[in-house]
A = this chain, B = another copy of it.
Amino acid sequence: MKKVGIINVTGYIGMELARLLHRHPGVELTSITGRSAVGQKLGELLPHLADIDLVIQPELGDVELVFSALPHKTSVEAVLVALERGIKVVDVSADFRLKDAKEYEKWYEFTHPQPQLLEEAVYGLVELNRPPIASARLVANPGCYPTGALLALAPVVKEGLIEPGIIIDAKSGVSGAGRTLSLNTHFSEANENVSAYALDGHRHLPEITQELCRLNPELSFSVTFVPHLVPMSRGVLTSCYAQLKEGRIAGNEKGKREIKELYGDFYRGEPFIRVVAAPPQTKQTWGSNLCLIYPTIDVRTGRLIVISCIDNLVKGGAGQAIQNMNLMLGLPEGIALEGAAVYP
């Protein structure tokens, strides 16, 4: 049993990591840290994890791999310390997702202290990046929005089937905003409410654009990304819109069938991607590591529409992080992630 740890177990991704790792037959969660609550038993702080007999420590113990679930800006230092100790890292913060230190500075208003590590870090979207992840010592776990958007768009972007203008309209449950208190996530304000936010630019946009460009460097993408907050705890539904390139797939019923086939082929054999025949619902992924994808064509306008659904804390967070860990440790990719969605 390989030993693993979690830095900052008390946030939503951290606690979800603990839940999933606890039943993992190939690794043992032996060390957890928190920014507060040091010395407390995990089950006292988080009663649903009372089965896990661990105390929150000030420092990470001896482990083979660690998940850093610290907020961005603070995660980078913890990652560096772990790497120097020879510990593999899956960083679930945003600190190693952007390759370009200038972009990082622009979006996070923070000069990246380890720009050389940006190059080394592997972007952990397994379905698009499996081989380098397997041999990485540092994986940057994707954000929840990029996960939903990139998996929805990858097949047509890679094949160059769409024009570069893309609209991504995403709808997220409130846990995506984390456990830190704010008026926007106060129950009485978020309940019975929908809102668009970050209309001047969300930090997940450069991450999306960067990876789209890697998929197809020839397209100069013009991406509009608008996230919305919806009154539920978990789930991200992403609606993507783009114009089909002329002369490739036709914007008609025949094209509709072809696009579905293309997606089916692209993701054939992927254990956590399901190209579905009817529009998916976030609830169908609740608690699971699945990404459901529904590609179609608006035949009146010849426009491509792709809908994807994930659980933001699993495939969009802790689940994907464990998928990365499994690869990095040479374990079967799907261990501990097989559970179906909890429905209703």
Contact = CB atoms under 8 A, between A and B. Distances in A.
Interface of A: 12, 15, 19, 22-23, 46-52, 165, 167, 169, 171, 173-175, 179, 181-183, 185-197, 199-201, 205, 222-224, 226, 228, 230-235, 237, 239, 241, 243, 274, 276, 278-288, 292, 294, 296, 298-301, 303, 305, 307, 309, 338-344
Contact of A224 (B23, B190, B301, B309): B301
A196 B237 CA distance: 8
Contacts of A235: 192-194
B231 A195 contact: no
16 contacts: A19-B342, A22-B340, A23-B340, A165-B243, A165-B301, A169-B239, A179-B183, A179-B186, A181-B182, A193-B282, A194-B230, A195-B279, A200-B296, A201-B300, A222-B301, A286-B342
A188 B49 contact: no
A195 B233 contact: no
Contacts of A226: 239, 305
A48 B231 contact: no
A97 B281 CA distance: 31
A66 to B, nearest CB: 21
A194 B232 contact: yes
A233 B194 contact: no
Which 6 residue pairs across A and B have the least CB separation, nearest first? A193-B283, A48-B341, A181-B181, A195-B281, A188-B344, A187-B190
Contacts of A222: 300-301, 303
Nearest to A198: B279
Contacts of A181: 181-183, 186
